[in-house]
Amino acid sequence: MNLQQSFAQIKIMILVSSMVLFSASPLYAHTKGKGLSPAQEIAEVVKQSLDGIQASQVQAMMAQHYMRLRLLSPTGEWADESLANNAAYLLPDDIGEEEVDAFIDEMAKNAHKNKYLKKFLKKASHHSFDELKMKVATEGPTVFPLAVTYALMLDRLTVAMQNDWRVLAASISIYNATADSIDMWTKIAPVEAAKIKMVEGPMKDYVAVHSGEVALIDDFLKVGLQDNISWAQSIDGYLGYTDNAYVAGVLNQYPANADGMSPAYISEDGTAINLQMAESRRWDDLYQTWNMAFVSQYANFPFVLPKLLIPSVSNYKHDADGYIYTRSLALYTQLYYSFITRVDTNNAPSIDWNDTELSQLWGKVNKASALKYMKKADK
C-alpha cells in the first residue's frame, strides 16, 4: 500500500476507529478463539493493516498532521520555540512497525482495564452490525493505517502540552490565528464554534494557573465540566438515546469537589490540575464509555474518538484524578483539527459509519454500568 499517496487522498483526523468498528472487520474473525481479550483481538486487526510500515513513512505522515494544525511549516520549521524545544519528541524518526504495534497494544491494554468498556465490547461481539461491517470492510483498510499516525501525533502533542504549559499556550495562539486566517468561524456552525470556545476557556485557565497568573480555586472546572456533560445529555435525550442520557445524569450526580472529595489540586509533578470524584477510577471508566457512546451517533464518529483512546488519556489507572485534564487537552486539539481540516479542504469527512443499533446498545450497557457505579460510589 502506498501510504503517502493514500494520505493525500483522504482527509483524516482520527487515531483508531471505535473498538467495535474494528470488531466488524473481516479480519476480526481470524483472531477469535486465540485466548485474547476483545480489545486485544481488535488490536491484532489494526496491526495487520500496518504490516511493513516504515519509520520514514510514519514520520512524514505525522508531519502532515502537524502542518494541518500550522504547528509545523511545509519546510519543517516549528511555529514556536516551545515546539522546537520538543521537536525530537513531537516528531521522532524512529517509530517503525514494531513501535507502532506496541502503541496499538498499549491502547488495547488500557481499554481492557476499563471494566465498563470491556462489558460493552463483550456484548457487541454478539451482534452483527451488518451495514457497519460492510463499510468497515471497504473503507477500513485505507483508513486504519492513516488513523494510527494521527493517534501518534495527538498522543505526543497531548503529553508535550501537559509537560510544558508553554506548548499549550503556543497551541492556543496558533490554533486561533489559523482559524482567523482561513475564516473558519464563519464556515462552521455556530454550535460548533461555541463548543470550541467552551473547551478553550479551560485551556486558557490551565495556562493562567501554571504560569502563576492566577491561583487555583477549590471548585476549578467543576461547573464547566458539569455543563459539558449536561450539553451532551440534552442531545442524547433529544435524539432518543435515553439510556446514555441517563448515564450523563449519573456522572453529574458525583461532581468534582463534592462533599468528602478533595478540592482541585496540582499534581505531584506539577504538570496537571487534578479533580477528584467519588471512586475516581470508576467514574473515569464510566465517563470514557459514556462519551464513546455519545459520539457514536455521529456519521464520522471514528474521527472523534482519538481523545479517549490514546495512551496519554486512557492510561489513568494509577492517576484517576488527572483523567479530565489530559482528556481535555486531547479534545481541544481534536476539535481544531477537525474544523481546520473541513474548512481547508472545503469538504466534510466523507464517512458515514454511525449505526443506531450500535449506539442504543452502547447506551443500554452503559446504563447498567452506571447503576453499578452508583452502588459503589454510595458505599
Burial class (CB in 10 A: 0-12, 13-18, 19+), 375: exposed
Measured from the Cβ of residue 11, the count of other Cβ atoms closer than 10 Å reads 17
Q: Record the pTM.
A: 0.86
DSSP 8-class letter at 25: S
Instruction: Look at residue 56 in the predicted model and tell me its pLDDT.
Output: 87
SS3 273: strand
Local structure of 157: helix, strand or coil: helix
Counting as low any pLDDT under 70, the low residues of the chain are: 1-51, 53, 140, 142-144, 300, 302-303, 346-351
pLDDT at residue number 103 = 87
Tell me how far apart the alpha carbons of residues 57 and 108 are, in angstroms, rounded to a whole number: 23
- Which residues partner with 265 through β-bridges? 274
CA neighbor of 46 nearest in space, from 13, 11, 6, 17: 17
Question: Would you list the DSSP string of 175-188?
Answer: HHHHHHHTTGGGTS
Domain range for 191 is 3-377
DSSP secondary structure string for all residues of 281-350: HHHHHHHHHHHHHHHTTSTTGGGTTHHHHSHHHH--TT-GGGHHHHHHHHHHHHHHHHHHHHHHHTS---
Number of domains in the chain: 1
Q: At what angle do helices 280-295 and 115-124 cross, to 10 degrees?
A: 40
